[in-house]
Structure 1
Amino acid sequence: MAILSLAFKSLLNRKLTFFITLFSIAISVTLLLGVQTLKTETNNSFLKSISGTDLIVGSRGASSQLLLSTVFHIGNTPNTIEYKTYKKLSEAPAVDWAVPISLGDSHKGYTVMGTDLSFYDHFSYANKQKLRVQSGSIDEDIFAIVIGSEVAKKLNYKIGDRVIVTHGGGEIEGHHHDNIPFYISAILAPSFTAIDQTLIVSLEAMAAMHTDNHDHFGALPGETILPSDHDGHAAHESHEDHDHEEHVAHESHEDHDHDDHAAHEAHDDHDHTAHSAHQDTQDQRVARLLKVKPEKINAVFIGLTSPQAILGMQSYINNFKEEPLSAIIPSIALQELWEFFSLAEVALNIVTVFVVLVGLLGMLSIILMSLNERRREMAILRSVGARPGHIFGLIIGEAGFVCLSGILLGVALLYILLAILQAPLAAHFGFYLDINMLTSYDLGILAIIQLSALVIALIPGWLIYKYSLSDGMSIKF
């Protein structure tokens, strides 16, 4: 303890070099632990993107492509499967539930996914957490659209807003499904998955948007199809003219009410179906009557009655006779896909190791540069009874104290940065950074750094030990 006390007092006499060394080690430790934390949280977030789904079924092809397109909404699934195949798979004895997934459209760069209401009952993420509604409600109306939290935030959408879907990824400028407008019925709470950046529509609406009847779904008996303008209003002009008197009467009634505008908005928020039906285009009215399902879909999420049935059901689907299918186990596919990033992970580890090494070498260089100036100090210590071993221990103690202080400061800086960055990362990038205690692996790394500092300090310690044996009260140059 006397050596440590003496080492601390000696460091206080050299505050500038002490703090330079301290902060270089602290920054190195912060960077090392920060990279490890980001790597771990990214891996956890990646693996938690889907939970509780036993199989994902799609057209035969690469499992990574099926996983990326259906779970992360990255890339396309050019091949489709028959809707009747989904119905047959859902009736298999081992299948507890099956949810159809249809992709291919977008809205202002965000993915539009077609499915049915069972999606909200069965889809889960991060240890079987269900999707939650932040505002509005899930509406059974086929032209109600549910949007993710990021979509609502970035596009400043609210309940009741009108949405026009674009064909494909929007590569063809102006190719919008404006004959089939949607209204927002619900905004989902953040899940920190791809769902946050997704708009969810019904399969019937998806089928209505992709008819081949010159952008029209059809006509009811006795009706004539009118050409629609870009906003999709011309197609229902006759409907609006027919209801003109009713609309005027409705407005006069609202004028009579107190705060008429607020009352009208409240009515819209609580009765989306009536609001949507009043604005229906001709194609929408036909689609409501027919409620046609799409002939083809992109994938099926399947939950089985028992985990023991997974391999058997996967084999049955992979050998399906009616059309070529591929069934992947999400947890295994996610782990295999993460292994593709192993090279980047190794590169990050190498960089962080070199950063810490640079910090330790900086400490060594500062100690070595100060040795010649400290030979008088060591000679005085020898004159008052300090042995060469005490001088050696003093240098080792200083290095150990500086490194330990740098590690503690580095850990403190790490948690401060995590606390500061947690909210912005979640808000702007949809990445939730969980703040946890240091793992045993992290503590092991810190122990290695501390041990390395003591080993590196052996060099200046040995040199000052030799000087202390030969030096007297005078300084030799």
Structure 2
Amino acid sequence: MKAIIKLAVNSAWARRQTLIIVLFSIALSTAVLLAVERVRTDARASFTQSVSGVDLVVGARTSPVQLMLYAVFHTGNATQNIRIDNVERLATHPDVAWAIPLSLGDSHQGFPVLGTTPQYFSHLRYGLQQPLFFAKGKSFGGTVDTVFEAVIGHQVAKTLGYTIGDKITLSHGMQTLGPEHADKPFRVVGILAPTGTPIDRTVHVSLEAITAVHLDWMGGVPLPGVKIPAEHVRKFDLRPQDITAILIGLNSRSTVFKLQRHINNDPGEPLLAVMPGVALDELWQTLTMVENLLLLVSSLVVIVGLAGLTATLMAGLTERRRELAILRALGAGPRDLFLMLTAEGIFITVLGIALGYVLLAVGITSLAPLLQSQFGIVVLQRLPTYNEWWLIGAILLTGLVASLLPGWRAWRISLADGLTPRY
């Protein structure tokens, strides 16, 4: 058996120019398949960690998925708002470490505007418990004197070309061309570093700012004959009456179910408390079809690569008929020729898998920072997972099957056919 393997290796080396192309085809196919699986797995983990460090998201009674869509991804509309008193009541609960209110509804150039408190930037995490950083500037003040300050996400600054000190105005509602609060401009005081999450596409202002721009509005339209200049808003009580949602962090994760039941059974106001990871995992299930389609396409790429191996070995048999005949004349049996051709194909497949995994590791090292900053996908270097080992085994098995046909064909070639080939 050792002689057959050595012969297969030497035979492959003698035809290395042709087989190197096949080798790289298998390697690229393997790298693509494993990359899709790695990105799929890590993208799911990153998606469920769009907000990490948040134990509960609280909003008006609705579906958990809808609550996460508008509270975390700032898309869609809340069924209704909740009273601001809930923030103060939950913040004083003995199990709660912090509670951050969120107010949504306005926009700027198609980007959502989020009203919150400065604690949002210190408590919120994303990915693997990564904190928010300011690429430029600082947080808005959150006081009456700094009411018209705004912090913008990385994508907002990049798309609209904003920098520190620029003036922006908010639009009422989420329509790009909706009515503007043009008489109350905001000054950009901070630009967040890229996170690859919805934070990048959000304009952040204080809760008091949301109240200030709507002092002379009612029912979604400006009050006729009423105009309150920006310099006069400080004379009014800017404490909001209601908000959209609340982010809650607990002193201990062990109390999350108890507090969730307490909030969901609150007799005062119909509220819904959801655990972000569970709700986001449920939301991800809607993308299962896309995941399966990507795996199918990458699997077809692998099959095409291994089909090229079969075609190359089969095509080479015509040129090697005399070589095989000489081996028969020297005492090699049909079984030996079958094993030699099969071993040759398996050898190329194993080398292709190994090279493909090296390409995957190099690709992760090179592209991981870009994937995290632009798409929020944290892709890590690690040993193959169970699913990846299963895919590697499937590639090896497919390579074995692809190698059996040339081996069977070599077994069929007779000694006389090799010595007197027909062209």
Could you tell me the TM-score, scaled by structure 1's length? 0.79
Show the 5 A alignment for 1:19-418. Answer: 19-140=20-141, 141-171=146-176, 173=177, 175-213=179-217, 283-418=229-364
Q: Which runs of 5+ in 1 are unaligned?
A: 219-224, 228-281
Task: Write the letter of the residue equivalent to 1:25.
Answer: I
Task: Write the letter of the residue equivalent to 2:327.
Answer: L
8 Å Cα contact 1:193-1:430 kept in structure 2: yes
Question: d(CA) in 2 for partners of 1:109 and 1:5?
Answer: 66
1:176 is displaced (CA, Å) by 1.0
Pick closer, same or farther for the CA change 1:405–1:289 going to 2, 3 Å: same
Question: d(CA) in 2 for partners of 1:76 and 1:174?
Answer: 16
1:60 is displaced (CA, Å) by 0.6
1:153 is displaced (CA, Å) by 2.2
Pick closer, same or farther for the CA change 1:316–1:472 going to 2, 3 Å: closer
> Secondary structure at 2:52's aligned position in 1?
coil
Task: Write the letter of the residue equivalent to 2:353.
Answer: I
Question: d(CA) in 1 for partners of 2:280 and 2:416?
Answer: 65
Give the structure 1 partner of residue 382 of structure 2: 437
CA deviation string 1:430-471 (max 9, x = no partner): 444535134133244223312331233223213312325665
Pick closer, same or farther for the CA change 1:108–1:458 going to 2, 3 Å: same
1:308 is displaced (CA, Å) by 2.8
8 Å Cα contact 1:208-1:217 kept in structure 2: no
Question: d(CA) in 1 for partners of 2:311 and 2:121?
Answer: 61
> Secondary structure at 2:229's aligned position in 1?
helix
8 Å Cα contact 2:127-2:378 kept in structure 1: no
8 Å Cα contact 2:168-2:187 kept in structure 1: yes
Question: d(CA) in 2 for partners of 1:196 and 1:179?
Answer: 26
8 Å Cα contact 1:148-1:188 kept in structure 2: yes
Task: Write the letter of the residue equivalent to 2:205.
Answer: V
Question: d(CA) in 2 for partners of 1:180 and 1:430?
Answer: 33
Task: Write the letter of the residue equivalent to 2:159.
Answer: K
Show the 5 A alignment for 1:463-474. Answer: 463-468=409-414, 471=417, 473-474=419-420
Task: Write the letter of the residue equivalent to 1:102.
Answer: S
1:396 is displaced (CA, Å) by 1.5
> Secondary structure at 1:457's aligned position in 2?
helix
Question: d(CA) in 1 for partners of 2:96 and 2:25?
Answer: 58
Question: d(CA) in 2 for partners of 1:216 and 1:87?
Answer: 30
Question: d(CA) in 2 for partners of 1:383 and 1:41?
Answer: 56
1:376 is displaced (CA, Å) by 1.4
Task: Write the letter of the residue equivalent to 1:297.
Answer: I
8 Å Cα contact 2:38-2:379 kept in structure 1: no
Once structures 1 and 2 are overlaid, which stretch shifts more, 408-417 or 28-37?
408-417
Task: Write the letter of the residue equivalent to 1:347.
Answer: L
Question: d(CA) in 1 for partners of 2:282 and 2:187?
Answer: 39
1:318 is displaced (CA, Å) by 1.4
> Secondary structure at 1:326's aligned position in 2?
strand
Pick closer, same or farther for the CA change 1:193–1:70 going to 2, 3 Å: same
Q: Number of residue pairs matched?
A: 415
Give the structure 2 partner of residue 269 of structure 1: none
Question: d(CA) in 2 for partners of 1:123 and 1:108?
Answer: 25
Q: Which runs of 5+ in 2 are unaligned?
A: none
Higher gyration radius (CA)? 1
8 Å Cα contact 1:314-1:327 kept in structure 2: yes
1:285 is displaced (CA, Å) by 2.6
Question: d(CA) in 2 for partners of 1:106 and 1:320?
Answer: 32
8 Å Cα contact 1:204-1:287 kept in structure 2: no
Task: Write the letter of the residue equivalent to 1:126.
Answer: G
1:100 is displaced (CA, Å) by 0.6
Task: Write the letter of the residue equivalent to 2:163.
Answer: K
Give the structure 2 partner of residue 455 of structure 1: 401
Task: Write the letter of the residue equivalent to 1:88.
Answer: R
8 Å Cα contact 2:95-2:252 kept in structure 1: yes
8 Å Cα contact 1:132-1:188 kept in structure 2: yes
8 Å Cα contact 1:52-1:127 kept in structure 2: no
Percent identity over the alignment is: 39
Could you tell me the TM-score, scaled by structure 2's length? 0.88
Question: d(CA) in 2 for partners of 1:93 and 1:353?
Answer: 53
Question: d(CA) in 1 for partners of 2:181 and 2:363?
Answer: 45
Question: d(CA) in 2 for partners of 1:320 and 1:217?
Answer: 36
Question: d(CA) in 2 for partners of 1:420 and 1:91?
Answer: 46
Task: Write the letter of the residue equivalent to 1:439.
Answer: P
8 Å Cα contact 1:217-1:287 kept in structure 2: no
Task: Write the letter of the residue equivalent to 1:293.
Answer: R
Task: Write the letter of the residue equivalent to 1:436.
Answer: Q
